Amino acid sequence: MGKITGFMEYQRLAEAAEDKRERVKHYREFVLHLSDQEAGIQGARCMDCGIPFCMTGCPVNNIIPDWNDLVYKQDWRLALDVLHSTNNFPEFTGRVCPAPCEAACTLNINSDPVGIKSIEHAIIDKGWEQGWVVPQLPKRKTGKKVAVIGSGPAGLACAQQLARAGHAVVLFEKNDRIGGLLRYGIPDFKMEKHPIDRRMEQMRAEGVEFRTNQHVGQNVNAKDILAQFDAVALTGGAEHPRDLPVPGRNLEGVYFAMQFLPLQNKVVAGDKIPGQILATGKHVVVIGGGDTGSDCVGTSNRQGAASVTQFELLPQPPAQEDKPLVWPYWPLKLRTSSSHEEGCERDWAVATKEFIGENGKVKIIKIVRVEWKDGKMTEVPGSESEIKADLVLLAMGFLGPVQTGLIEQFAVEKDARSNVKAETDGPKAYCTSVPKVFAAGDMRRGQSLVVWAIREGRQCARSVDEFLMGRSDLPR
């Protein structure tokens, strides 16, 4: 399927993007999806492998060869069906997923992988354009009520699956808008927010009730939830950020990334935010080399920062991984994001010693170079230096779910990493230690990708359905 010799004839084509000098002037998405023909040719590069490694590389196990072939044959409608059969929200993953599927693509062994993500992007955008994405109403109602707490990708996926199985689902969200990190963690220029709203419309029609500003564990009591619902799914994410306890941490101008990023999203959404933390005209230092750090870089540039510097504690990874020993797994290698391209100094193997301030406001960061040997870090003697910093954004990852409130009230058992404890396989899949309470997504597995959250939300929904009905037809 696909085209037998397509991979030998066609080159990989990246999605077109607006020029970096232009795109930093606004917060809109700047990546364009492929045209029908372009996507068709990219689909033709798929070899329809006897073992599609992409499919296991993908956490939701998208049936990639099948929709690649359908796009090649320009059967977009069926391609959309196949895509939706494993993934509730391809519009999210088609935009923000790092695409482990492409790392696992067999063409990636010795050539450029199939542009799987770009094809997914094209399919789902086409689906919305054509009005093919419509509510899938359950055949009958079960009369069971399920509370899903947390409206990030895991919660959304879980809620949608359960509604389709005929359950009455209420989705609780502590913020004013639905979407969790999709809404407030990911900047608009990476993913605009109207797709979330569109999905909400669909889900509402399928029977999901959304309740915002409902912070279970704060303004809503777990006891009440347990009393009102036949089952509960905890999908509250892993929002407890890793801190940097060095002298000067309390200075003004040192913030967690998640204190900074949501504000800009709200502004883009039309909210008025008095005293918004802004990078405008400032020397910004982002500490942490991951995706969140990258988002901070992009946002800072858009706000008009004087300079942006990003530090990473770990050494600079190689530009190219040792494929024979890594493929088909996710490689550790130097990744340059679109935000980096827009302007940023990057430095590796750098540790922060101290924040030095003036009038309570941070002005300088004292750093030191470090060396790594056998997984152990040592400072390089005499390598301290100081760097100007008006705004420091800490993007060093998350330690797990916020422990207070929700988790306390449900009194669920936790694992060694302070996540809510639950298996993913077997008869107790996604069950917490508390009867009828389930957990999925980052809250269960710790900080991860959107696509993992969707997977867990779907699988958790099946477990809940089985728990409620004795059996389930929901796919895992």
227 contact partners, CB below 8 Å, separation of at least 6? none
Q: Find the shortest distance in angstroms from Cβ 94 to another protein.
A: 19
Q: Which is nearer to another protein, 63 or 434 (CB)?
A: 63
**Helices H / strands E in the chain, number of each:** 20, 16
Q: How far apart are CA 467 and CA 448, in angstroms?
A: 26
Closest CB to another protein among 247 and 475? Answer: 475
- The reply to whether 111 sits near another protein by the rule CB under 8 A is yes
Query: Which residue in the block uniquely carries the two structure tokens 């089952």?
Result: 231
Interface segment toward another protein; rule CB under 8 A; list 25-33, 101-109, 218-226, 385-393: 101-109
**Residue 452 CB, nearest approach to another protein (Å):** 15
Minimal distance in Å, beta carbon 106 to another protein? 6
SS3 content of the chain, % helix, strand, coil (to 5): 35, 20, 45
Look at residues 284, 278, 283, 324 and name the one whose alpha carbon lies nearest to residue 303: 278
Residues linked to residue 268 through DSSP beta bridges, in sequence order: none
Please select the residue that binds another protein; options are 152, 328, 446, 457, rule is CB under 8 A: 328
Q: Least distance from C-beta 78 to another protein, angstroms?
A: 6
Quick check: 440 and 457 in contact, CB under 8 A?
A: yes
Choose the binding region for another protein from 93-101, 109-117, 341-349, 403-411 (rule: CB under 8 A). Answer: 109-117
Of residues 238-257, those binding another protein (CB under 8 A): none
Select from 471, 469, 464, 470 the least CA-distant residue to 157: 464
Is residue 104 within the footprint of another protein (CB under 8 A)? yes
Answer for which of 13, 17, 107, 356 binds another protein (CB under 8 A) is 107
- Least Cβ distance, residue 154 to another protein (angstroms): 20
Strands 254-256 and 391-394: parallel
Is the CB of residue 433 less than 8 Å from the CB of residue 412?
Answer: yes
Q: Is 372 in the site for another protein (CB under 8 A)?
A: no
Helix (H) or strand (E) holding 284: strand 283-287
Query: What's the closest the beta carbon of residue 213 comes to another protein, in angstroms?
Result: 33
Residue 176 makes contact with another protein by CB under 8 A: no
Site string for another protein, 329-348 (x = CB under 8 A): x-------------------
Q: How many CB atoms lie under 10 A from the CB of residue 114?
A: 29
Burial class (CB in 10 A: 0-12, 13-18, 19+), 301: buried
* Residue 470 found at the interface with another protein (CB under 8 A): no
Supply 25's token pair. Answer: 């002037």
Helices (H), 304-374: 323-326, 338-341
User: Hey, what are 125's tokens?
Assistant: 């955008």
Kindly tell me which residue out of 227, 319, 325, 416 binds another protein, with binding defined by CB under 8 A.
325
CB nearer another protein, residue 81 or residue 354? 81
17 touching another protein, by CB under 8 A: no
- What type of residue sits at position 290? G
Rounded to whole angstroms, the Cα distance separating 472 from 476 reads 10
Does 424 bind another protein (CB under 8 A)? Our answer is no
The answer to the question of residue 18 lying near another protein (CB under 8 A) is no
**Contact mark string toward another protein, 140..169, x via CB under 8 A:** ------------------------x-----
For residue 101, the 8-state DSSP code is H
The contact pattern for another protein, residues 40-79, with x = CB under 8 A and - = no contact, is: -------xxxxxxx-xxx---x-x-xx---x--x-x--x-
CA dihedral defined by 184, 464, 234, 169, rounded to 10 degrees?
60
Q: Which of residues 269-308 bind another protein (CB under 8 A)?
A: none
Distance CA 228, CA 162 (A): 17
CB of 55 to another protein, least distance (A): 5
Other Cβ atoms less than 10 A from the Cβ of 405: the count is: 17
CB of 162 to another protein, least distance (A): 12
Is 451 an interacting residue with respect to another protein (CB under 8 A)? Answer: no
Nearer to another protein, 109 or 273 (CB): 109
Cβ neighbours around 225 below 10 Å, total: 21
Size of the site for another protein (CB under 8 A): 42
State the residues that interact with another protein by CB under 8 A.
1, 4-5, 7-8, 47-53, 55-57, 61, 63, 65-66, 70, 73, 75, 78, 81, 85, 104, 106-107, 109-111, 139, 164, 324-325, 327-329, 473-476
